[in-house]
Structure 1
């Protein structure tokens, strides 16, 4: 997809996550993607939901290609799912595609019904010796 016009996938399931070889195999380091304008739909009302996603992972053999990740995440724009389903589903799809040494996601959702619902998922403890910075997304007070 990189370097060419690419149509927006209609659904997250239809989105292709491309991977590229890790340029530093055997070296432990953390990769972070931040999506501060993630959008999906409430499966009950069809109203939009908004989140600030932070994805951290320690790659093994593969990196996710960033354009394909952006297209995958934007495919949720017309997808109806609860916050928990979106957040954990994104993490599980990345784990399936990349087989990272470690991955975590923080889904910091803006309030629905006056209550923010934050969802966190990790494949385990971060590997020893890898600097994994705090996610530093503020608790809800107008978030951002």
Structure 2
């Protein structure tokens, strides 16, 4: 890899990296978007996201779908995986986890647009879905449905 490539500043990719102890300590990394002149959508699907209930310490599980239209920056996927994995021992309500992830990515990447869907599995018989987006999606970009059906019990 060339010394001056867009990838030369990455620290976590290509080697063993410890799971961060908390989301606050996780280091997100980014690279310049080599296709910044094109408006396109990037999707990360996280079907096994876990965090902890801040009251009981019991595990909570979610299926996250993160869509973003990059501007100058792309998030490096291993650093995103480690950041999201750091929630495994983090206590917060579903809403806080979902919105915190979105806000950190928006602050870090300054994308044209970002949307997150947090589809949380039921606890206490109630599923909680959390949705947020940074604004209107740019025109002309294909942003498919997130593909996660609403929770249906036996009803």
**TM-score band, normalised by shorter chain:** over 0.9
CA RMSD of aligned residues (A): 0.8
Equivalent position of 2:7 in the other structure: none
* Distance in 2 (alpha carbons) for counterparts of 1:119 and 1:26: 31
- Is structure 2 residue 20 aligned with structure 1 residue 27? no
Equivalent position of 2:115 in the other structure: 104
Q: Deviations over 1:1-29 (max 9, x none)?
A: 00011011000000000001101012100
CA shift, 1:140, in A, is 1.2
* Distance in 1 (alpha carbons) for counterparts of 2:36 and 2:122: 40
* Counterpart secondary structure, 2:25: coil
Counterparts in 2 of 1:46-61, with a 5 A limit? Answer: 46-61=57-72
- Is structure 2 residue 125 aligned with structure 1 residue 114? yes
Q: Given the alignment, which residue of 24, 34, 42 partners 2:53?
A: 42
Equivalent position of 2:83 in the other structure: 72
* Distance in 2 (alpha carbons) for counterparts of 1:25 and 1:42: 39
Equivalent position of 1:10 in the other structure: 21
Residues paired across the two proteins, number: 142
Q: Deviations over 1:51-85 (max 9, x none)?
A: 00000000000000000000000000000000000
Structure-2-length-normalised TM-score: 0.90
* Counterpart secondary structure, 1:57: strand
Structure-1-length-normalised TM-score: 0.97
CA shift, 1:128, in A, is 0.2
- Is structure 2 residue 137 aligned with structure 1 residue 126? yes
| Higher Cα radius of gyration | 2
Equivalent position of 2:4 in the other structure: none
| Off by >3 Å, runs of 4+ in structure 1 | none
